[in-house]
Amino acid sequence: MFREGYEIYTSKLGQLEQGKELQLEIRDVKTYQPKKVKATISSSPEKLPDGELLWVRGMLGPLLDGKPWRIKIISQVQS
Amino acid sequence: MAFKDLRDYISALEQHGQLKRVDREVDWNIEAGAISRLVYEKGLPSPLFENVTGYPGYRLFGAPISTFSKLAIALGLDPETSIKELINFYLEKKKDLVKPVFVDKSQAPCKENIDIGDQVDLMKFPSPMLHEGDGGRYLCTWHINVSKDPDTGWINWGCYRAMVSGKNTLTGPVSPAKHMGSQYQKYKAKNIPMPFAIAIGPEPVSGFIAGARVAANLYEAELVGALRQEPIELVKCETVDLEVPAGSEIVIEGEISLTEKDWEGPFGEFVGYSATGRNKAPVWNVKAITYRNNPIITMSNTGVPVDEYHLDVGLVRSAELYNRLRADGIPVVAVNAPPEGVGFLVIVSVSGNTPNIAEKVTSSIWSSPQGSNAPFVFVVNDDVDVFNIWEVMHAMVTKCHPYRDIWRVERASAIPFMTFLNAYERQHRLGAKVYFDCTWPTDWDPVSEIPPKISFDANYSHEVKEHVLKNWENYGFIRLA
């Protein structure tokens, strides 16, 4: 309700590789529409200053990091 | 007289002070869910959200039957009806099932709008995001899933959650352990996608019974008719060979794919936790949606007790296990599967002096469909009111020997919602069960070894009790309930 940006589910924070181009499935927190994208992510806002917010959730639902990461979407991947 | 539809029931709730109309704008995205959750936890009137962000003309209805009082209203009974009386009502009415009647679509409010094929768009409905972290927007949390056995024609009503995964797709678990899931396995064997219908916002007794675990091969619509004391009106679906309550708010028709899967969950569940996580589940392809004007979407925001699932347990499971124990020749006095036990706890009182009665009771319960997944069983003597948890606790701490009277079983049946199991145990269904014998041992001498109970009822002579009760208000006390 109050969040902006995107969410992603992962089993462990360590599985999200930072700083390199990845293919990810994320969802918009306003619509919950999933989409597949090519993007780079970082837990540090300074490393992706123009990135959008990315909230990281575990597979049971809770946020794995209380602070949002950043995501820079390069392109959308067709399903 | 039975409620003809959900709207009729909502009016009744309002008359009894059990409804809160919310005309302030409320967001389907978490806000409506959070409000409903607090309503459950505080036992408040059910919220009808009449102004949903971004969805003019659509409404959300939370906590539809969240207390025994609301359940009594749904059954046409006095709101103060006790759980014992509700159980007796259920057992009595169940003896005479009432077949449904079928109406033409011209008489079915759920056919006021009909979208078929390319017209189907699940996104037009304000499916709520109920809990933070849920896998998606769950349109289906309090509804009827209608499905049919391809071999026997047995029609099952259940309530299995489903989230919106696309314009014309839902995703939801289809567990082989459940009735619909067992039917799905047969369609899989025949390589035929399984037809389904989902009736959202039916009249209240239908919604309640759909979520209860009744016997396989029992057509829930007939039990609903018995409890309503009037037949339920059903109408044929547009695209599948199934029937749904004609007064439903929204009906979704389609086929569950045998091959396509998509991510589903996590979801805040009845056990009070998000227990089963995010998994791939079958895709439900939607072929048609029919709905009333200004439809109302019902939401059951499952979580810590008490919500609709827990009340289903509290009433139906208690009643069905009572019948089971009687059929097995157990001298049962009462059964309580309390809502707060989330279906994992059963308390049974017994009369007489049967040796090993606790073991007999527990064997009966654990071998039944209703009790096979209740890992905790307490057996008490008939001087204990099983609906008074403090009396049960007193019996436990004074009669249950901590070493001799607690019997544990390993490698018992389990379901993934049993959060006391570790991940490996849940994955491999390696459960555990326990029963607490809170009865006086039958080999104790009743005069010299069983201590006399000290209570108003047990200790005082009939003459003294009568005298005191007769003069109670004369002593200056207010009348006893």
Q: Express as a percent the part of chain A with pLDDT over 70.
A: 99
Question: Which among A30, A59, A63 has the least Cβ separation from residue B278?
Answer: A59
Q: Is A9 in the B-facing interface, judged by CB distances under 8 Å?
A: yes
Listed residue (B440, B451, B445, B411) closest to B428, CA to CA: B411
Q: Smallest CA–CA separation between B116 and chain A, in Å?
A: 23
User: Distance between CA B72 and CA B83 in Å, rounded?
Assistant: 9
> B4 CB contacts (<8 Å, ≥6 apart)?
B203, B233, B247
Residue A47 has a CB neighbour count (10 Å cut-off) of 15
Token reading at B265: 């969950």
- Is the model's pTM score more than 0.90? yes
Give me the pLDDT at residue A78, please.
Answer: 82
> Is B6-299 in CATH node 2.30.110.10?
yes
Give me the pLDDT at residue A79, please.
Answer: 67
Listed residue (B266, B300, B292, B275) closest to B64, CA to CA: B300
Give me the pLDDT at residue B6, please.
Answer: 98
Q: If chain B, 481 residues long, is cut into consecutive pieces of 10 residues, what is the mean pLDDT of each piece?
A: 95 98 97 98 98 97 97 97 96 97 98 98 98 96 97 96 97 94 97 98 97 89 97 98 98 98 96 94 98 98 96 93 97 97 97 96 96 97 97 98 97 94 93 98 94 95 96 95 81
Chain B residues within 8 Å of chain A (Cβ atoms): 27, 29-31, 129, 131-137, 165, 263, 266, 268, 274-275, 277-278
Closest-approach residue (CA) in chain A for B33? A1
Element (H, E) at A38: strand A34-42
Residue B460 has a CB neighbour count (10 Å cut-off) of 14
Q: How do beta strands B46-49 and B59-62 pair?
A: antiparallel
Closest-approach residue (CA) in chain A for B277? A60
CB-CB contact of B387 with B380 (8 Å)? no
The domain segmentation of chain B, as residue ranges, is 6-299, 328-450
pLDDT in tens, A17-75: 999 999 999 999 999 999 999 999 999 999 999 999 999 999 999 999 999 999 999 99
Q: Which CATH class name applies to B328-450? A: alpha beta
ipTM associated with this complex: 0.93
Token reading at B480: 């006893």
User: What is the sign of the dihedral through the CA atoms of B367, B370, B373 and B375?
Assistant: negative
Element (H, E) at B327: helix B318-327
